[in-house]
């Protein structure tokens, strides 16, 4: 079954097809093109996608979506970005009435939660689930993810991110979720939004796109809980909370699992379940509660979803665990290099604290914190102490505040860049160590992980 035909693309976008064709995929990065794909020649601030048409064809593109005539099969439109959005709307509109679409946002954990939801629903539907890949969660990534959705999708899971107010409102109206979830609220992007309450308002925009009769899922254990619930109830027929205490989806009991991760007994709406999560840490227990609440609301098999959580491995940059060779044996490296804010730093440091062996942390700067940056970096001293970190490598000028807060307590090496951080870790690491690597993505600590883990 083709993803799109030339006639469908032309009808959706208002464009003109130069020939009849069918495509099996969609991409706007010529490096992601595979044989049979449609290449979307997106305009950009630095590059024009039309300049990469040749590379896309070389990589196997069957056809093009363009605003300039081409010699290869194509659909010609006035505005390529607008055409991709129109194709996204058409993809959403052609889903069956039985399909369930879930939107996910939050300051922390949205990609991990999205991936866990996809794993659970794909298993429950025998391969009929679809999700946004990577972190395609912005004004171009969400339309692309929708345009890639197969026509027979049973469950669609879409991540939505933002840097400014109003961005999620536009995305959720494209996605039109039946279930909309906020994972948590933390001071990410506070430089742009000003206050934590403004961040919560921006995340709550996801509820504005809910389909009639839709469900909102919000975190119980954040200070903005009531703010989120109030916003959700304006658009949702049903609002559920997840977390501790009296939450609709709540932990009854959680203990470390024998093979790693956690063994959890939880109360969900209408049922009580016991399941295992492969990933360690209290934050993953919270992620799992949100996932299972959404699975139940979607009408899928919660027991099967629990099996998927037990089998789910760590994601690159978001908890992947590497056993690396060091003199005399092995050490554990926990890759959290993709993103960081104060909440996710605290959560992953707590995970490090539960590991055996000497605790080493390689921490890079948290970005987009504005005037709060110095204070929030300094406040990481508490989670570092609680984790029992015995060796600390800090990357970037912003980390000077944390260095000052811990001065004299533990050995600290502060460096300017990833290359120096890699050298420092190579000189420090020893057999039996547990090493956490975490920073905002722009710091580039993924390069350190690649160097230490042998490119795996």
- 138 burial via Cβ count (<10 Å: 0-12, 13-18, 19+): middle
CA distance 368 to 111: 19
Give the pLDDT of residue 456.
40
Give the pLDDT of residue 315.
67
Q: 109 among the known binding-site residues?
A: yes
Collapsing DSSP to helix, strand or coil, 265 comes out as strand
Q: 110 among the known binding-site residues?
A: yes
Report whether pLDDT(28) > 60: yes
Q: 422 among the known binding-site residues?
A: no
DSSP for 40-103, please give it: E----SS--GGGGHHHHHHTT--EEEESS--SSSEEE-S-HHHHHHHHHHHHHHTS-TT-EEEE
pTM: 0.80
Give the pLDDT of residue 314.
67
Q: 112 among the known binding-site residues?
A: yes
Report whether pLDDT(51) > 90: yes
CATH code: domain 320-452 is 3.90.190.20
DSSP for 371-388, please give it: GGHHHHHHTTHHHHHHHT
Percent over 90 (pLDDT), the chain: 80
Q: 106 among the known binding-site residues?
A: yes
pLDDT in tens, 167-183: 999 999 999 999 999 99
Domain with CATH 3.40.1390.10 in the chain: 4-79
pLDDT in tens, 313-359: 766 777 788 999 998 899 999 998 988 888 889 989 998 998 899 99
Q: 281 among the known binding-site residues?
A: no
CATH code: domain 95-311 is 3.40.1190.10
Domain with CATH 3.90.190.20 in the chain: 320-452
Domain with CATH 3.40.1190.10 in the chain: 95-311
CATH code: domain 4-79 is 3.40.1390.10
Q: 183 among the known binding-site residues?
A: no
CA distance 160 to 391: 36
């Amino acid at each position: 079954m083709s993803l799109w035909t030339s006639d469908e693309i032309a009808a959706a976008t208002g464009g003109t097809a130069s020939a009849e064709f069918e495509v099996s995929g969609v991409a706007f990065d010529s490096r992601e093109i595979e044989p049979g794909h449609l290449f979307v020649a997106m305009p950009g601030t630095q590059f024009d996608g039309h300049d990469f048409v040749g590379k896309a064809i070389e990589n196997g593109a069957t056809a093009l979506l363009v605003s300039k005539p081409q010699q290869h099969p194509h659909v010609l439109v006035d505005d390529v970005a607008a055409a991709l959005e129109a194709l996204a709307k058409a993809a959403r509109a052609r889903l069956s009435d039985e399909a369930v679409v879930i939107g996910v946002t939050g300051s922390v954990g949205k990609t991990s939660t999205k991936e866990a939801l996809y794993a659970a629903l794909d298993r429950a539907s025998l391969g009929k689930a679809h999700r946004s890949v990577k972190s395609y969660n912005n004004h171009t990534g969400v339309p692309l993810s929708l345009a890639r959705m197969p026509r027979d999708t049973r469950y669609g899971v879409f991540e939505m991110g933002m840097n400014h107010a109003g961005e999620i409102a536009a995305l959720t109206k494209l996605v039109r979720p039946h279930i909309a979830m906020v994972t948590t609220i933390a001071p990410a992007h506070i430089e742009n939004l000003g206050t934590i309450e403004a961040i919560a308002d921006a995340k709550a925009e996801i509820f504005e796109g809910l389909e009639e009769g839709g469900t909102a899922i919000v975190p119980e254990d954040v200070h903005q809980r009531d703010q989120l619930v109030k916003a959700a109830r304006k658009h949702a027929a049903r609002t559920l909370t997840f977390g501790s205490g009296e939450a609709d989806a709540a932990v009854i009991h959680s203990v470390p699992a024998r093979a790693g991760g956690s063994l959890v007994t939880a109360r969900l709406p209408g049922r009580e379940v016991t399941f295992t999560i492969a990933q360690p840490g209290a934050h993953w227990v919270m992620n799992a509660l949100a996932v299972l609440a959404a699975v139940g609301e979607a009408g899928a098999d919660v027991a099967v979803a629990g099996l998927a959580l037990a089998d789910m491995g760590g994601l690159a940059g978001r908890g992947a665990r590497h056993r690396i060779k060091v003199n005399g044996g092995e050490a554990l490296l926990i890759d959290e290099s993709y993103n960081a804010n104060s909440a996710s730093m605290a959560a992953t440091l707590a995970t490090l604290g539960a590991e055996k062996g000497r605790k080493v942390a390689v921490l890079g700067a948290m970005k987009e914190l504005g005037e709060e940056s110095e204070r929030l970096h300094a406040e990481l001293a508490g989670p570092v102490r609680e984790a029992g970190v015995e060796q600390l490598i800090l990357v970037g000028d912003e980390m000077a505040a944390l260095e000052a807060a811990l001065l004299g307590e533990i050995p600290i090496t502060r460096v300017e860049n990833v290359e120096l951080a890699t050298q420092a870790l190579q000189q420090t690491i020893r057999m039996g160590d547990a090493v956490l690597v975490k920073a905002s993505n722009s710091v580039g600590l993924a390069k350190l992980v690649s160097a230490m883990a042998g490119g795996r």
